[in-house]
């Protein structure tokens, strides 16, 4: 039997105020939770997925219309299949009741081609069912990579400006970008969540809150 949903924290406990329109959350700490509760890692993933559904309910109650959750980095997919398969299963298990409720419009972001094909297909099908949802919008980051996001944005800018002679974005590679004098020491690590690093702009423009859920 699944544990009963916990009561919604107060807005002050969540760090939520009336002016908050977009909440970002990094889903992490599964191994620590499993060790502390004597549970399997798969159980921890499932519990985390359930908590994300509860979080969306709390955001509805607090009037927060946009949520972005960083659920799984590209680095996670480099681990053995015995580790990644339960994680992907938990993501699907957590999203099914959210899509069935039809209150949130979901969008997947990240390097989706890196996901296992069978999981990617079901994820895309689930997200497609929320296209007409009238409530909030939730971005789910899967197989995300900070360097690739910056590179993709730069390529898009260059490709969109070829008529002005800027150049071909496809020629820009990660190592080329990293060597540029203006980008030196500014690119995030491949998985900034796991290494604990963050960009200075993120610290200045965000209001972080750390707590147990």
Q: What is the pLDDT of residues 194-203, one digit of tens each?
A: 433 333 444 4
Which two structure tokens, joined as six digits, stand for 164? 């002005």
> Do 81 and 160 belong together in one domain?
no
Task: Identify the bridge partners of residue 106 per DSSP, sorted by sequence position.
Answer: 138
Q: b vs e for 82-98, b when ≥16 Cβ sit within 10 Å of the residue's Cβ?
A: eebebbbebbeebbeeb
pTM of the model: 0.67
The number of folded domains in the chain is 2
Q: Are residues 46 and 116 in the same domain?
A: yes
- Could you tell me if 130 and 34 lie in one domain? yes
Low-confidence winner among 16-30, 48-62, 90-104, 174-188 (lowest mean pLDDT): 174-188
Rounded Cα distance, 171 and 165, in Å: 14
Token pair of 34 as six digits = 């499993």
The pLDDT assigned to 77 comes to 85
**Which position has the higher pLDDT, 80 or 142?**
142
Name residue, tokens 């491949």: 190
- How many Cα neighbours within 13 Å face the side chain of 86? 14
Mean of per-residue pLDDT scores for the chain: 75
Residues 92, 170, single domain; the answer is no
User: Can you give the pLDDT at residue 156?
Assistant: 66
Has residue 72 been placed in a domain?
A: yes
139 and 153 part of one domain: no
CATH number at residue 141: 3.40.1180.10
| pLDDT on residue 11 | 52
- Using 50, 70 and 90 to split pLDDT, how confident is the model at 173? low
Q: Is residue 4 part of a domain?
A: no
pLDDT at 195: 38
Active-site residue, 175 included: no
Q: Is residue 137 situated within a structural domain?
A: yes
Cα distances (Å, whole numbers) of residue 210 to 6, 24, 96, 119, 213: 18, 12, 27, 30, 9
pLDDT of residue 203: 42
User: What pLDDT score does 41 carry?
Assistant: 86
Q: Is position 11 within any domain?
A: no
d(CA 59, CA 23): 8
% of residues, the chain, pLDDT over 70: 64
Residue 63 has a pLDDT of 92
29 lies in the same domain as 41: yes
101-106 average pLDDT score: 95
Question: For residue 166, is it within any domain?
Answer: yes
**pLDDT at residue 13 above 60?**
no
Tell me what the mean pLDDT of segment 6-25 comes to.
65
130 and 168 belong to one structural domain: no
To the query of whether residue 145 is one of the catalytic residues in this protein, the response is: no
Q: Is residue 8 part of a domain?
A: no
Question: Are 159 and 101 contained in the same domain?
Answer: no
Which of 18, 28, 132, 194 is catalytic? The answer is: 28
Residue 109, pLDDT > 60, answer yes
Q: Which of 75, 76, 125, 175 is catalytic?
A: 76
Q: What are the C-alpha distances in Å from 158 to residues 110, 150, 165, 167, 186? A: 20, 12, 9, 6, 20
Residue 49: CA atoms inside 13 Å, Cβ hemisphere, count?
A: 21
Q: Torsion over CA of 154, 159, 160 and 164, rounded to 10 degrees?
A: 110
Please check whether residue 6 lies inside any domain of the structure: no
Residues 108 and 197 placed together within one structural domain of the fold: yes
**Domain shared by 38 and 108, yes or no:** yes
Q: Looking at the structure, do residues 126 and 47 belong to the same domain, yes or no?
A: yes
Residue 42 sits in the same domain as residue 81: yes
Residue 102 lies in a domain: yes
Short-list 32, 55, 30, 54, CA closest to 44: 30
Q: Could you tell me the residue range of the domain that residue 58 belongs to?
A: 19-145+192-205
pLDDT band at 176 (very low <50, low <70, confident <90, very high): low
210: β partners: none
């Amino acid at each position: 039997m699944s544990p009963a949903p916990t009561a919604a924290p107060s807005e002050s406990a969540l760090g939520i105020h009336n002016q908050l329109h977009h909440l970002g959350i990094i889903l992490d700490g599964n191994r620590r939770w499993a060790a502390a509760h004597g549970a399997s890692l798969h159980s921890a993933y499932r519990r985390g997925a359930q908590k994300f559904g509860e979080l969306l309910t709390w955001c509805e109650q607090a009037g927060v219309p946009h949520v972005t959750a960083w659920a799984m980095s590209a680095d996670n997919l480099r681990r053995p299949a015995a580790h990644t398969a339960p994680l992907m299963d938990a993501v699907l298990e957590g999203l099914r009741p959210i899509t069935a409720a039809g209150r949130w419009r979901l969008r997947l972001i990240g390097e989706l081609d890196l996901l296992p094909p069978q999981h990617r297909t079901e994820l895309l099908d689930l997200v497609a069912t929320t296209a007409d949802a009238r409530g909030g919008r939730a971005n789910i980051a899967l197989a995300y990579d900070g360097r690739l996001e910056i590179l993709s944005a730069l390529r898009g800018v260059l490709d969109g400006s070829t008529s002005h002679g800027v150049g071909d974005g496809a020629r820009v590679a990660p190592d080329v970008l990293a060597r540029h004098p203006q980008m030196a020491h500014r690119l995030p690590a491949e998985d900034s969540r796991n290494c604990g690093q963050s960009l200075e702009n993120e610290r200045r423009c965000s209001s972080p809150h750390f707590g147990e859920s």
